[in-house]
Amino acid sequence: MEERIYLDHAAAMPVHPGVLRFGRQFPGEFAGNPSTLYQEGLAAQEAVSRAREQVASLVGASDTASIVFCSGATEANNIAVRGTALRNAKRGKNVVASAIEHISVLNPAKDLQKSGFSLTLAPVDHYGTIDLDALRKAVTPETVVASVHYANNEIGTVEPVREVAEIVHDRGGILHVDATDAAGRIPIDVERDGIDLLTLSGNQLGGPQGVGALYIRPGVRVQPVLVGGGQERGLRPGTENVFSIACMGEAARLAGEEMPGESRRLRAIRDRLISGITEMEEAYLTGHPTERLPHHASFRFSRIEGESIQLAMDMLGIAVATGSACTSRTLEASHVLLAIGLAHDEAHGSMVATLGRTNSPDEVPRIVRAVEETVKRLRAITPL
Amino acid sequence: MADQIGYSQKVMEHFMNPHNVGVIENPDGYGKVGNPVCGDLMEIFIRVKDDVIEDIRFRTFGCGSAIATSSMVTDLAKGKTLDEAMKITRDDVATELEGLPPRKMHCSNLAADALHAAIQDYREKQKKE
């Protein structure tokens, strides 16, 4: 049996071995609740504040108090979109989001419509790059918060965040950027980029699942979506998940340290994958050819369906993702693939490969062969 | 079981090595259901002799369960009389496959419909002759 090849790092990252080593010393030593004043509590407090510094440092936040820990990117996105809109509703009643945001941004934005907000979706071009002219029209003085991600998880396209920030700030709006897929992969500097709120996922940095963080620029007012004991500046009440937070901090530190070398290494593998796969008949790259995440390769194949591709690749020992409707809980076509202009039947045949530290260039020929075999086999069955 | 997303061993067997794939030239009956926009499209070709399905072939665009149900329904129908084949239901196909994830029961379990369409096509052609 050949070794498995894991190509779905955007869905779940294996925990970094350095984080595992770091985490192993934990359970015995730390039993404290950071809200207490005895030694165990202070030690826990210290672990959380070290993590806060490490996360702040990864994204260029000079004020460590600007980092709020929570349960993950979905919660961070909810606090950012809902909490900011509701807290600043006096200013206006409009929310803007790019059409290809993650569902954990789009759903709270849609839900705000029940509270009297209007939602404007800003279109993207066929690469998934936000249309800046359209954004200029979409963001108005009524816009409280605009949410445009740093990079897209399905097609890898990196957005022109600085230009977006200028547009949003010109109209007095607050910019939220979901950096779940970009952080630890490409350099992010919230101050240079003009970002008011930034979402981070612990797992996407190589930390454990179930922990995340929201950067909130000092001065930006946000209200909690969950109320309780006042931890994390009241924005994320509940006893801190000390162990996971500390591990996320260590993951952020390692990600920052390894990013230059690792992104160069993964970019080379990605480019070989892209050229090998797009050589096949009726196989196309989705997303931007150059402005894309270094570890991200995404494709679509005509006349075959993505779930079948995923299953067939799995049988060949390779884990890939697909934006196919058949793999989603709602059985709806990917809103990302439709927003970049694909027809429904084209959106069905997608395959996404996201690389990580376990992948090596030696795997490329086997991956390309497996894709060829899969596509050939499925096309032999198709009536299209 | 309500949360089950994965497929049974049987589904995977039929998905990886589907039976009766292909086309019958000038078939006695032809059925086509679904559409590519929804992500599932299947067609079934039958050859009929003395009211019995002597040969049956299919081609399918779709997910794992669409391909597996197509393969299974061709196995179930082969050698059966038309009346017997008309009685094969979506549930029969799912049962023979040792179950399908609940959310796949409706959308990707069209194979019995395609079979019935092929039989009806054959019967209509017979009437005309």
| SS percent in chain A: helix, strand, coil, step 5 | 45, 15, 40
Sheet containing A296-301: order of strands: A283-285, A296-301, A350-354
pLDDT tens digit sequence for B62-92? 999 999 999 999 999 999 999 999 999 999 9
Which residues are CB-contacts of A112 (< 8 A; sequence separation ≥ 6)? A81, A82, A85, A86, A95, A119
Closest Cβ–Cβ partner in B41, B64, B103 for A308 = B64
Decide if pLDDT at B4 tops 80.
no
pLDDT at A200 over 70: yes
ipTM: 0.91
* pLDDT number for residue A106: 97
Amino acid A319: pLDDT: 97
Closest listed residue to residue A345, CA positions, set A378, A303, A282, A285: A303
Q: How confident is the model at residue B3 (pLDDT cuts 50, 70, 90)?
A: very low
Q: What is the pLDDT of residue B67?
A: 94
How far is residue A382's CA from residue B4's CA, in Å, rounded to a whole number? 27
What's the CA gap between B105 and B4, in Å, rounded?
A: 12
Residue A45 predicted with pLDDT over 50: yes
Q: What percent of chain A has pLDDT over 90?
A: 90
Mean pLDDT over A23-38 rounds to 80
Whether pLDDT at B129 is above 80: no
- pLDDT, tens digit, 9 for 90 and up, residues A136-180: 999 999 999 999 999 999 999 999 999 999 999 999 999 999 999
Residue A239 CA to residue A32 CA, distance in Å, equals 10
Question: What predicted TM-score, i.e. pTM, was given to this entire model?
Answer: 0.94
Helix (H, G, I), strand (E, B) or coil at A167: helix
Query: Is the per-residue pLDDT at A30 higher than 80?
Result: no
Query: Contacts of residue B39 in chain A, CB cutoff 8 Å?
Result: 305, 324-326, 333, 344-345, 348
Q: How close, in Å, is residue B25 to chain A by CA atoms?
A: 14
In this predicted structure, the answer to whether residue A40 has a pLDDT above a threshold of 90 is: no
Question: How confident is the model at residue A28, as a pLDDT?
Answer: 62
- pLDDT, averaged across chain A: 95
Residue A194 confidence (pLDDT) above 90: yes
Q: Does the beta carbon of A329 lie under 8 angstroms from any beta carbon of chain B?
A: yes
Residue A247 among the catalytic residues: no
- pLDDT given for residue B38 in this prediction: 75
B102 touches chain A (CB under 8 A): no
Residue A27: per-residue pLDDT: 63
From the list B7, B60, B64, the residue facing A383 with the nearest CB is B60
Q: Confidence band (pLDDT; 50, 70, 90) for A263?
A: very high
* CB-nearest partner of A311 from B43, B64, B104: B64
pLDDT score, position A244: 96
What is the Cα–Cα distance from A224 to A235, expressed in whole angstroms? Answer: 5
What pLDDT digit, counting tens, does each position of B10-55 carry?
999 999 999 999 999 999 999 999 887 778 899 999 999 999 999 9
Looking at the complex, does the CB of residue B45 fall below 8 Å from at least one CB of chain A?
no
Task: State the pLDDT at residue B2.
Answer: 42
- Which residues of B fall within a CB distance of 8 Å from A325? 39
The per-residue pLDDT for A328 is: 64
How many CB pairs below 8 Å do chains A and B form together?
69
- A48-102 confidence digits (pLDDT tens): 999 999 999 999 999 999 999 999 999 999 999 999 999 999 999 999 999 999 9
Asked if the model's pLDDT at residue B1 lies above 50, the reply is no
Task: State whether residue A154 is helix, strand or coil.
Answer: coil
A326-353 per-position pLDDT tens digit = 666 666 789 999 999 999 889 999 999 9
| Residue A348 touches partner B, C-beta closer than 8 Å | yes
Helix, strand, or coil here: B31? strand
Band (A184; pLDDT cuts 50, 70, 90): very high
pLDDT at B128: 83
